[in-house]
Structure 1
């Protein structure tokens, strides 16, 4: 375990989000921006730095955001934004939604009393007008080592994840961030979903270009 406290290699305030554009390729020159949300104390920052350093690091509650480039699988690089989950800062989440290509939502599987709150925040984020339509969603059912932790099937039911289909592809992965259990598998699935999302975006863009070109030709002929 690292002895120092991690506040984020690249930590910032909302003003930084509005002035700096962080984008990194996932494959073939495509750009991928991953947003990680969840209630406070769900383990988001621990997950981020476990993936980044493959070690458990000491963390403190995130007030602004942490942003890191990570390569969880070969030939895949993601830019992950870990945003604070305290209730007083959730109203600022929407400022991070634009141009997001994947959403990681982390829940404390052992905190049954707050799962309904987590569900409401998840759907509030996905239904926000600034959120990228149709983005893939990865649910990390974290803290599986704690007594009473719910498994993926129960998490899916409580969070009502069937409501996401067919608009959003989604996957639930049981994780234990301190030991890194389940994280590699989770990010492999995320990478596949994001690649497919990029393909769908490319198809939509090509379709729009073709329609625009057709409209221009029709107008010229008239």
Structure 2
């Protein structure tokens, strides 16, 4: 997913260097992927960190100087939504991410039984976030929809 997003970022954002973390319980990466895209003299660093249980404690090593977090949620996996909420809020409580914007991708919307964006928002407790800029979008990384709309935010 990091490669797709980094290409889109190169087309959408501008005027400064931006550092973005892509996190979630189970990312596409086994360890981590780092993509750097330069577009119109703007540098985007996109860090796609793995979401396996053994890797999550190391997320905090990458928090410094992060401008935005893209938190990817498996909208079909209702059983793990509580764990996803715990990890998200623990991460957002970190001082180094105090000013980072949050974009949640309610992913796998192309699959039957996917939770709506509103259901994912409720399950993650996004409404309780105070003093943080955040948004949530329905996406399908496989089909490629919803990603651009989220990044336009």
Task: Please classify the TM superposition score into its range, dividing by the shorter chain length.
Answer: 0.7 to 0.9
Secondary structure of 1:98's partner? coil
The correspondence of residues 38-53 of structure 1 with structure 2, limited to 5 A, is 38-40=24-26, 44-45=27-28
Say whether 1:135 aligns with 2:100: yes
Q: Distance in 1 between matches of 2:20 and 2:86?
A: 20
Selected match of 2:135 from 168, 171, 175: 171
> Who is 1:216 aligned against?
none
Distance 1:144 1:70, change over 3 A: farther
1:145 is matched with 110
Q: Give the corresponding residue for 2:72.
A: 106
Alignment counterpart, residue 155 of structure 1, candidates 107, 120, 123: 120
Deviation at 1:94, TM superposition (A): 0.4
Structure whose residues are more often strand by fraction: 2
Q: Does 1:78 align with 2:65?
A: no
TM-score norm. by structure 1 comes to: 0.59
TM-score (norm 2): 0.84
Q: Distance in 2 between matches of 1:89 and 1:148?
A: 28
1:127 positional shift: 0.7
Within 1, Cα distance between the matches of 2:135 and 2:114?
18
Per-residue deviation, residues 58-77 of structure 1 (Å, max 9, x unmatched): xxxx3321011358x99975
Residue by residue over 1:43-86, the C-alpha shift from the partner in whole angstroms, topping out at 9 and shown as x without a partner, is: x44xxxxxxxxxxxxxxxx3321011358x99975321000100
Provide the aligned length of Structure 1 versus Structure 2.
143
Q: Name the counterpart of 1:96.
A: 62
User: Paired residue for 2:30, among 59, 63, 71?
Assistant: 63
Aligned-residue CA RMSD in angstroms? 2.3
Match of 2:14 among 10, 27, 33: 27
The one of 34, 37, 42 aligned to 2:23: 37
Deviation of the 1:164 alpha carbon: 1.4
- Give the distance between the partners of 2:22 and 2:152, measured in 1 at CA: 16
Over 6 Å off, 4+ runs: 73-76
Report the Cα distance in structure 1 between the residues aligned to 2:124 and 2:79, rounded to whole angstroms.
Answer: 12
Give SS of 1:27's match.
coil
